Amino acid sequence: MIIVLTGAFGFIGSNLVKALNELGYTDIIAVDNLTNGSKIKNLADCQILDFVDKEDFIHEVANGNYNNEVDYIFHQGACSSTTEQDGKYMMKNNYEYSSVLLEFAQTNEIPFVYASSAAVYGDKTKFVEDLEHEYPLNVYAYSKFLFDQIVRRYFETGLKAPVVGLRYFNVYGQREAHKGRMASVVLHNFEQYQATGRVKLFQGCQGYANGGQLRDFISVEDVVKMNLFFFNNHLNDKEEISGIFNCGTGEARSFNALALATVNACCAHQGNAVLSLEDALAQNIIEYIPFPGDLAGRYQCFTQADLTYLRGAGCEHTFLTLEEGVSRYINLLLEKK
């Protein structure tokens, strides 16, 4: 089986390559842009069939050079910066690239699983995979939103092969160090705590208390399992599933809870007693900083995946709790130090 995996050296992509290897799949064509050469570390412990530069791959696909040669596509490649303001770049990199691959997949009848984003919901308060609940607030979210609409048109006109979009909520976990500013809050909290003994969170905004903004945080371990759930369905089930599905835990947790889970994971690793939020505040371990003005009107203070469609598709996966996922991730980071 030949699997194309775009964004293969990135955060979610590299975790997916590793998981596929563990299942015995190594004939993977890893597609990516390696301008950031540090990403090669993410696949240093993995096996692939070939590496193809993203632009070269698009060119080869357009020329028909991969026709009838690919069995499955995981499309994880994208610019994930929610603060990127270059709309031309974002639309070319996310929307146009994805559209080319979708057409290629349908023409060649290849199952296609791609990365969407919870950013499409914007400041809505219901996180259901329906157009009425979607309102992107930045160009990144719009690029994902617009591609989802293209996919929905294929659903309406009829598919030649299954298509699944996974709307990732706030993902954290190993193999994300290359992301810098766009790495998860867990990694930033961990690095701050290791360097200074403190964790910085935003002050309250839009009616939320300091550190009280709520997000659906999901471990990359669970994200990979969601990708593999659909992969296994497409390989083994006569009723192949298609659709756009939320990929979150279904439980919103505060940034205070996330910071405390990070601190306590470090404490537990050192054999120290865990702290309550009150303890952490009293000891100035959690510090609140002014909310950035440039995020006003473009910041999701609350996200929580509605899992109705996912459960309806037959996925019964039990997600890691915030404390479980963060503890596992922090232990991995500490073991590498």
Residues with catalytic annotation?
A: 140, 179
Task: State the virtual CA torsion across 155, 157, 161, 163 in degrees, nearest 10.
Answer: -20
Burial of 234 (0-12, 13-18, 19+ CB in 10 A): buried
How far apart, in whole angstroms, are the C-alpha atoms of residue 285 and residue 193?
Answer: 8
How far apart, in whole angstroms, are the C-alpha atoms of residue 203 and residue 240?
Answer: 46
Closest by Cα among 267, 273, 300, 264 to 125: 300
**Which phi and psi (to 5°) does residue 62 adopt?**
-60, -30
Q: State whether residue 93 is helix, strand or coil.
A: helix
CA-atom Rg of the chain in angstroms: 20
Q: Do the strands 72-75 and 3-6 form a parallel or antiparallel pair, or are they unpaired?
A: parallel
How far apart, in whole angstroms, are the C-alpha atoms of residue 183 and residue 175?
Answer: 10
How far apart, in whole angstroms, are the C-alpha atoms of residue 87 and residue 93?
Answer: 10
Asked if 267 and 275 touch (Cβ cutoff 8 Å), the reply is yes
- Reading the block at residue 33, the tokens are 């842009």
b vs e for 98-111, b when ≥16 Cβ sit within 10 Å of the residue's Cβ? beebbebbbebebb
